[in-house]
Amino acid sequence: MKTFTARSMAEAMLLVQRTYGNHGVILHTRSYKRGGVLGLGAKPVVEITAADGRELGKRYRKQAERSPRAQALASRPAARQPGALPAAREPAPAPPSATAGDLIRRTYAAARADLGAGVGDPASATATATRPAAPAADAFTPSPQMPQPASATPPASAPPPVVRVVSPPAENYRVADELAAVKQLVTKMMRQQQGGVVPTEGESAAPANPDLPDPLVAQYLKLLEQEVAEELADEIVRKVGRSLDGGQAEDEYACRQAVHDEIARRLPTDDSAGKLKPTDDGRPRIIALVGPTGVGKTTTIAKLAATFKLKQGKQVGLVTMDTFRIAAVEQLRTYAGIIGLPLKVANNAAELRDAIRGFEAKGVDAVLIDTAGRSQRAGDKLDELAEILEQVRPHESHLVLSSTANQKVLLETVERFSCIAVDRLIFTKLDEAVSCGVLLNVARRVGKRVSYTTNGQEVPHQIEAGSSDRLASLVMGDESGDR
């Protein structure tokens, strides 16, 4: 196993190919920036960890052969009971060369066959998807070296036949369970399609195609794997299926691109994000960030300030109201000192108004307000924060959400912070998120534009304006949050 470092993914892959040829197996990839001063002038670096697939295969086979269960199954004898009958053979597992796509296609075909045969109730689908029962403890198959005796009871002088207990490995059970779950899921989706679909606003009333092509089934399962809500994934795939003709519907790339475009259409973003424009009222652009504790508001404020100051040459003032968290003020003060920005601390609405007036008198272009993190269950504190922000009338109010939180927590946070006039969303910690499907669920439920996303702690890097295409790729799991 070796680690290759290069300036681009293409160069890194070339190094892997030169070392391992066509037998290289990618184990891990990551991208980061290296060099520069205070994060400025750093250059992107791509790192790939790879190994020889042949060596890995040999290693895993040896580990499997040395496992206690494999050794026990290979050496454990069992006595044959008089009158016992040979056990029925278990179905042969899928050949090692079978891919996930082959298994999904066979499972999908089986589900369609069941529906055609009249298997339409959930109980039948569940029964069909049940894994085969393990053989009884006394089941055996005769050794090929020992012929079967003619009578049920062997002569007393004859040695007992050599028998071996047949027990399918645990891996077979796991694969059977997964295929059963896939089959049940596909059967359910097809049954819903055969029942007809109520069109959403702006869509035609044509019924959904019950014969959904395999590429769209694969995209549907991929969305569910990324934790996109089942009803939302079903809606996206059905709409894409109606928009594609026969040839496109059977093309894997065309289906994936169509699903990507449909997701991007459902993720509105802020076109003005990242561009500090003059305001209509003549005041500096006032930008407030609100959100629960621990989502990265202070780091995001520092990234925005550095972007406006260092990349756009704007004059920016910082105000922090996070006087409750230990060392929060010092953290932002450190950032302000490095970037070269003035910082003021405000404990209430009056001090916040005075700080903004002072910056306005100095002719700054923008004032960024870092509010204290509030628990989504602290209703009185949220009402107090809403009153403070209402008095200063910010031009932009961004609700900062962590993409590592589950959907229930995110939706509860959005509901609790609804007392504040939030008009934009910022998703942080994309580099730590296991899957990004919940971003689509939350954005669709809230109906707010996504202004920025962050994917790390580096200031001023690892922040970017919201992009529908970029978010759609993340939702589909096509790329990681680290760029």
Give 114-157 pLDDT, tens digit per residue.
Answer: 555 554 444 444 444 444 444 444 433 444 444 444 444 444 44
Half-sphere exposure of 309 (CA within 13 A, CB side): 24
Residue-averaged pLDDT of the chain: 74
- Predicted pLDDT at 359: 93
Tens of pLDDT, residue by residue over 220-246, are 888 998 889 888 998 999 898 888 877
* pLDDT over threshold 90, residue 293: no
pLDDT category at 369 given cuts 50, 70, 90 is: very high
- Mean pLDDT computed over 153-174: 48
Q: What is the pLDDT of residues 178-210, one digit of tens each?
A: 555 565 565 555 545 444 444 444 443 333 444
Element (H, E) at 388: helix 379-392
Q: With a cut of 70, say whether residue 481 has pLDDT above it.
A: no
Under a CB-based contact definition with an 8 Å cutoff, are residues 256 and 217 in contact?
no
pLDDT exceeds cutoff 70 at 478 = yes
Greater model confidence, 272 or 115: 272
Please give the Cα distance from 248 to 37 (Å, whole number).
50
pLDDT above 70 (res 60): no
CB-based contact 293:370 (threshold 8 Å): no
Decide if pLDDT at 354 tops 90. yes
Residue 170 has pLDDT above 60, yes or no: no
Strand locations in 279-315 (E): 285-290
Q: Tell me what pLDDT residue 169 has.
A: 54
Q: Average pLDDT of 384-406?
A: 90
For 424, other C-beta atoms within 10 Å of its C-beta total 21
Query: pLDDT value at position 244?
Result: 82
SS3 assignment, position 476:
coil
Instruction: Indicate the pLDDT class of residue 213, thresholds 50, 70 and 90.
Output: confident
pLDDT value at residue 201 = 43
State the pLDDT at residue 44: 83
User: What's the pLDDT score for residue 121?
Assistant: 45
Res 322: pLDDT: 78
Determine contact, residues 142/86, Cβ cutoff 8 Å: yes
Lowest mean pLDDT among 88-97, 200-209, 412-421, 462-471: 200-209
Calculated CA dihedral for residues 410, 412, 418, 424, nearest 10 degrees: 10
d(CA 180, CA 387): 54
Please give the average per-residue pLDDT across 375-401, as a whole number.
Answer: 83
Closest of 212, 273, 221, 270 to residue 242, by C-alpha: 212
Q: Residue 7 above 60 pLDDT?
A: yes
